Amino acid sequence: MAHTSRGLGKGLDALLKGFNEQPTDVEVKTIPVASIVPNPFQPRKEFSEEALAELAESIRNQGVLQPILVRTAPDSSPGHFELVAGERRLRAAKMAGLQDIPCLVRELDDEQSLTIAIVENLQREDLNIIEEALGLKQLQDRLNLSQEDLARKVGKSRPAVANTLRLLQLPDHIINLVMEGQVSGGHARSLLGVTDSDSQEALLAWILEYGVSVRQVEEAVSYWKENGELPSLDGGGHAPARKKKKPMKAAETPRELHSYASRISEEYQFKVSISGSEDTGRISIRYSSRDQLDIFLKKLGVS
């Protein structure tokens, strides 16, 4: 049985301008987790068990501070709901042993549900670039959007959307390596600059064996475009006549601070990063609309 309470609407309503034309006093229901089915449009495929365990521990101590977003499940029995946004919170709540979870219930069609699910994931810093590309492609194909319309719908520039979608042109085994975190998005973009498959494979092997930087790969790609062949890639060096610089080791941000950033991002739907040490550092909060900025300032008591 779902129990109804009243609360202030937060989260995605502030992020997605196209879906926030409703009263600010939004109905919040407490719904059994067993009554919520997964979102078939979820673009994210990988969830860190370690991060889920940390969020589950936070939920055990403080509860679920930010409701998840659901809709009435299509073609389902009464009392069942379909998840729209907040899968990490739902998974962590189950891991924490919760039987019920607070939910915002919205009447959404498939187009709105798909758009919200993808845009919510695009707000996350840890979303894999291939998952982002697959989500954008799914949204584009399902709604038959041009790249311009797609960019407008997700709040990104058309070149950014186009460059992300281009990653899906890579061979499947390279896409899988990016998904697994063995090749970065920057390296993958650089590999797109080489159309010869043998040269592309040679660069891939160079990246995997020596862990060379994106800048080094870009230089090798530029050399290939000018000369029709790759420079010497032995030892992970730059193109000929370029001296390899020894990279400076950046100070490592304590793991606990990363955990704080993840929890803040998850609970309040702001894109948060923390860098530095326990004594000094920097907190960065990214907003994507004036509405989101206003909500953040209100939380700080600034008007």
Q: What are phi and psi of 270, to 5 degrees?
A: -105, 145
pLDDT at 39: 84
Q: Is residue 119 part of a domain?
A: no
pLDDT above 70 for 52? yes
Nearest-5° angle of CA 132, CA 136, CA 261? 35
Q: Is residue 118 part of a domain?
A: no
Helices 197-210, 172-179: inter-axial angle, 10-degree rounding: 20
Q: Which residue type is seen at 257?
A: L
Nearest-5° angle of CA 247, CA 225, CA 184? 40
Q: Is residue 55 part of a domain?
A: yes
Mind giving me the DSSP string for the chain? -PEEEEEE--THHHH-GGG--S-SEEEEEEEEGGGEEPPTT-------HHHHHHHHHHHHHH---S-EEEEEPTT--TT-EEEEE-HHHHHHHHHTT-SEEEEEE----HHHHHHHHHHHHHT-TT--HHHHHHHHHHHHHHHT--HHHHHHHHT--HHHHHHHHHGGGS-HHHHHHHHTTSS-HHHHHHHTT---HHHHHHHHHHHHHH---HHHHHHHHHHHHHHSS----GGG--STT-PPPPPPPPPPPPHHHHHHHHHHHHHH--EEEEEE-SSSEEEEEE-SSHHHHHHHHHHTT--
What mean pLDDT do residues 259-286 have?
A: 72
Torsion of CA 14, 22, 136, 84, to 10 degrees: 90
Q: Are residues 207 and 143 in the same domain?
A: no
pLDDT at 45: 65
Q: Are residues 72 and 34 in the same domain?
A: yes
Summarize pLDDT for 282-298 with one digit per residue, the tens: 777 776 666 667 777 77
pLDDT band for position 89 (cuts 50, 70, 90)? very high
Nearest to 79 by CA among 109, 105, 113: 105
Range of the domain at 22: 3-108
Q: Are residues 162 and 188 in the same domain?
A: no
Q: Are residues 141 and 213 in the same domain?
A: no
pLDDT band for position 225 (cuts 50, 70, 90)? very high
pLDDT at 247: 42
Q: Are residues 277 and 203 in the same domain?
A: no
What mean pLDDT do residues 63-77 have?
A: 85
Summarize pLDDT for 32-50 with one digit per residue, the tens: 999 999 888 776 667 778 8
Least trusted range by pLDDT, from 25-29, 56-60, 102-106: 25-29
Q: Is residue 201 part of a domain?
A: yes
pLDDT above 60 for 26? no
Q: Are residues 58 and 143 in the same domain?
A: no
Q: Name the domain count of the chain.
A: 4
Q: Are residues 190 and 147 in the same domain?
A: no
Q: Are residues 100 and 137 in the same domain?
A: no
Q: What are phi and psi of 243, to 5 degrees?
A: -95, 130
Q: Are residues 162 and 187 in the same domain?
A: no
Q: Is residue 120 part of a domain?
A: no
What integer best gives the mean pLDDT of the chain?
A: 79
Q: Is residue 222 part of a domain?
A: yes
Token representation of residue 234 = 């032995």
Percentage of residues of the chain with pLDDT beyond 70: 76
100 forms beta bridges with 32
Percentage of residues of the chain with pLDDT beyond 90: 39
Q: Is residue 75 part of a domain?
A: yes
Taking the C-alpha atoms of residue 233 and residue 26, their distance in angstroms, rounded to an integer, is 59
Instruction: Find which of 5-9, 13-17, 189-193, 240-244 is predicted with most confidence, using mean pLDDT.
Output: 189-193
Q: Is residue 115 part of a domain?
A: no
Q: Are residues 87 and 139 in the same domain?
A: no
Q: What CATH number did the domain enclosing 59 receive?
A: 3.90.1530.30
Summarize pLDDT for 187-216 with one digit per residue, the tens: 999 999 999 999 999 999 999 999 999 999
Burial status of residue 24 (CB atoms within 10 A of its CB: 0-12, 13-18, 19 or more)? exposed
pLDDT at 190: 95
Residue given tokens 């995605």 in the structure block: 12
pLDDT at 68: 92
Residues marked active site are found at: 87
pLDDT band for position 263 (cuts 50, 70, 90)? confident
Nearest to 72 by CA among 64, 84, 80, 61: 80
Nearest-5° angle of CA 156, CA 130, CA 275? 70
pLDDT at 9: 33
Beta-carbon contacts of residue 259 (< 8 Å; ≥ 6 apart): 54
Q: Are residues 133 and 83 in the same domain?
A: no
Residue given tokens 């610089």 in the structure block: 245
pLDDT at 84: 92
Taking the C-alpha atoms of residue 207 and residue 236, their distance in angstroms, rounded to an integer, is 8
What mean pLDDT do residues 218-240 have?
A: 80
pLDDT above 50 for 239? no
Q: What is the CA radius of gyration of the chain?
A: 22
Q: Are residues 92 and 24 in the same domain?
A: yes
